[in-house]
Amino acid sequence: MNCPCCSGQTFDRCCGRFISHRALPENATQLMRSRFSAFALAERDYLLETWHPDFRPPQLRLDSEIRWLGLEIIASEEQGEKAQVEFEASLLSAGEVRALRERSVFVRHQGRWQYTNGEQLAPRTAPWKPARNQDCPCGSGLKFKRCCAKASV
Protein backbone atom coordinates (compact mmCIF):
# COMPACT_ATOMS: atom_id res chain seq x y z
CA MET A 1 0.00 0.00 0.00
CA ASN A 2 1.24 3.48 -0.92
CA CYS A 3 1.74 5.78 2.00
CA PRO A 4 -1.21 8.17 2.42
CA CYS A 5 1.27 11.06 2.92
CA CYS A 6 2.12 11.01 -0.82
CA SER A 7 5.83 10.37 -0.30
CA GLY A 8 5.80 7.80 -3.10
CA GLN A 9 7.05 5.13 -0.69
CA THR A 10 5.16 2.20 0.71
CA PHE A 11 3.27 2.79 3.94
CA ASP A 12 5.43 0.27 5.71
CA ARG A 13 8.69 2.03 4.85
CA CYS A 14 7.29 5.50 5.37
CA CYS A 15 4.75 6.50 8.05
CA GLY A 16 3.80 2.95 8.98
CA ARG A 17 6.98 2.35 10.99
CA PHE A 18 6.22 5.39 13.16
CA ILE A 19 2.51 4.64 13.63
CA SER A 20 3.33 1.06 14.61
CA HIS A 21 6.09 2.28 17.01
CA ARG A 22 8.94 0.53 15.21
CA ALA A 23 10.78 3.83 14.86
CA LEU A 24 10.64 7.43 16.03
CA PRO A 25 10.38 10.31 13.57
CA GLU A 26 13.79 11.96 13.28
CA ASN A 27 12.43 15.37 12.43
CA ALA A 28 9.24 17.39 12.50
CA THR A 29 8.48 16.84 8.82
CA GLN A 30 8.48 13.07 9.29
CA LEU A 31 6.20 13.49 12.28
CA MET A 32 3.94 15.82 10.29
CA ARG A 33 3.67 13.26 7.49
CA SER A 34 2.94 10.44 9.90
CA ARG A 35 0.23 12.49 11.62
CA PHE A 36 -1.39 13.13 8.25
CA SER A 37 -1.31 9.39 7.54
CA ALA A 38 -2.76 8.77 10.99
CA PHE A 39 -5.64 11.12 10.18
CA ALA A 40 -6.16 9.31 6.87
CA LEU A 41 -6.21 5.93 8.62
CA ALA A 42 -8.09 7.09 11.73
CA GLU A 43 -5.21 6.14 14.05
CA ARG A 44 -6.53 8.15 16.96
CA ASP A 45 -4.05 6.88 19.57
CA TYR A 46 -1.09 7.90 17.46
CA LEU A 47 -2.54 11.37 16.95
CA LEU A 48 -2.99 11.83 20.67
CA GLU A 49 0.40 10.50 21.70
CA THR A 50 2.20 12.74 19.19
CA TRP A 51 0.35 15.79 20.49
CA HIS A 52 2.19 17.76 23.14
CA PRO A 53 0.36 17.25 26.48
CA ASP A 54 -0.07 21.01 26.99
CA PHE A 55 -1.95 21.33 23.69
CA ARG A 56 -3.62 17.95 23.31
CA PRO A 57 -7.42 18.02 23.25
CA PRO A 58 -9.07 15.91 25.97
CA GLN A 59 -10.92 14.03 23.24
CA LEU A 60 -10.29 13.70 19.57
CA ARG A 61 -13.25 13.24 17.33
CA LEU A 62 -12.40 12.16 13.80
CA ASP A 63 -14.89 13.10 11.15
CA SER A 64 -15.79 9.88 9.35
CA GLU A 65 -17.30 11.84 6.45
CA ILE A 66 -13.91 13.23 5.52
CA ARG A 67 -11.59 11.36 3.23
CA TRP A 68 -8.01 12.60 3.26
CA LEU A 69 -6.64 12.67 -0.27
CA GLY A 70 -3.15 14.03 -0.22
CA LEU A 71 -0.45 16.05 1.46
CA GLU A 72 2.05 18.55 0.18
CA ILE A 73 4.78 19.95 2.38
CA ILE A 74 5.28 23.58 1.40
CA ALA A 75 8.06 24.63 3.76
CA SER A 76 9.77 23.47 6.90
CA GLU A 77 12.34 24.87 9.25
CA GLU A 78 13.87 23.44 12.36
CA GLN A 79 15.75 25.33 15.06
CA GLY A 80 16.99 23.28 17.95
CA GLU A 81 14.01 21.88 19.83
CA LYS A 82 11.44 23.77 17.77
CA ALA A 83 10.23 23.39 14.23
CA GLN A 84 7.60 24.73 11.87
CA VAL A 85 6.10 22.87 8.96
CA GLU A 86 3.78 24.47 6.48
CA PHE A 87 1.61 22.12 4.48
CA GLU A 88 -1.47 21.86 2.37
CA ALA A 89 -3.64 18.80 2.76
CA SER A 90 -6.52 17.99 0.48
CA LEU A 91 -9.64 16.25 1.59
CA LEU A 92 -12.93 15.15 0.18
CA SER A 93 -16.05 16.10 2.04
CA ALA A 94 -19.62 16.04 0.74
CA GLY A 95 -18.41 15.42 -2.82
CA GLU A 96 -16.14 18.44 -2.79
CA VAL A 97 -12.34 18.58 -2.74
CA ARG A 98 -11.06 21.13 -0.28
CA ALA A 99 -7.61 22.19 0.79
CA LEU A 100 -6.43 22.82 4.30
CA ARG A 101 -3.28 24.85 4.70
CA GLU A 102 -1.60 25.20 8.04
CA ARG A 103 1.69 26.24 9.55
CA SER A 104 2.18 23.76 12.35
CA VAL A 105 4.50 24.22 15.28
CA PHE A 106 6.37 21.24 16.71
CA VAL A 107 8.63 20.89 19.72
CA ARG A 108 10.96 18.15 20.81
CA HIS A 109 9.63 16.98 24.14
CA GLN A 110 11.62 14.36 26.05
CA GLY A 111 13.47 13.44 22.89
CA ARG A 112 10.35 13.06 20.75
CA TRP A 113 8.95 15.47 18.22
CA GLN A 114 5.43 16.49 19.10
CA TYR A 115 2.77 18.66 17.55
CA THR A 116 1.67 21.70 19.54
CA ASN A 117 -0.68 23.78 17.42
CA GLY A 118 -0.94 25.50 14.09
CA GLU A 119 -1.97 28.61 12.30
CA GLN A 120 -4.54 28.23 9.54
CA LEU A 121 -3.57 29.91 6.29
CA ALA A 122 -5.62 30.65 3.21
CA PRO A 123 -5.52 27.58 0.96
CA ARG A 124 -3.99 27.98 -2.48
CA THR A 125 -6.72 26.03 -4.19
CA ALA A 126 -10.43 26.83 -4.11
CA PRO A 127 -12.91 24.01 -3.40
CA TRP A 128 -13.99 22.06 -6.47
CA LYS A 129 -16.23 19.14 -7.32
CA PRO A 130 -14.72 16.23 -9.25
CA ALA A 131 -16.86 14.82 -12.07
CA ARG A 132 -17.85 11.17 -11.65
CA ASN A 133 -15.97 10.09 -14.77
CA GLN A 134 -12.71 11.88 -14.15
CA ASP A 135 -9.62 10.42 -12.51
CA CYS A 136 -9.98 10.28 -8.78
CA PRO A 137 -8.27 13.19 -6.99
CA CYS A 138 -6.67 10.72 -4.57
CA GLY A 139 -4.30 9.64 -7.35
CA SER A 140 -5.37 5.99 -7.42
CA GLY A 141 -5.71 6.04 -11.21
CA LEU A 142 -9.33 4.91 -10.95
CA LYS A 143 -12.33 6.92 -12.03
CA PHE A 144 -13.71 9.04 -9.24
CA LYS A 145 -17.04 7.19 -9.26
CA ARG A 146 -15.23 3.85 -8.73
CA CYS A 147 -12.99 5.18 -6.00
CA CYS A 148 -13.45 7.91 -3.43
CA ALA A 149 -16.93 8.96 -4.58
CA LYS A 150 -18.12 5.72 -3.04
CA ALA A 151 -16.62 6.60 0.31
CA SER A 152 -17.88 10.15 0.37
CA VAL A 153 -21.42 11.12 1.15
Question: Contact residues for Zn ion (CB under 5 A)?
Answer: 3, 5, 7, 14-15, 33, 136, 138, 140, 147-148
**C-beta atoms surrounding 3 within 10 Å:** 21
Phi, psi for 145 (deg, rounded to 5): -65, -25
Nearer to Zn ion, 7 or 84 (CB): 7
Nearer to Zn ion, 91 or 136 (CB): 136
Nearer to Zn ion, 83 or 97 (CB): 97
Q: How far is the CB of 122 from Zn ion (least distance, A)?
A: 26
Q: How far is the CB of 51 from Zn ion (least distance, A)?
A: 18
**C-beta atoms surrounding 60 within 10 Å:** 12
Nearer to Zn ion, 66 or 138 (CB): 138
Contacts of 21 (CB under 8 A, 6+ apart): none
Q: How far is the CB of 58 from Zn ion (least distance, A)?
A: 28
Q: How far is the CB of 141 from Zn ion (least distance, A)?
A: 9
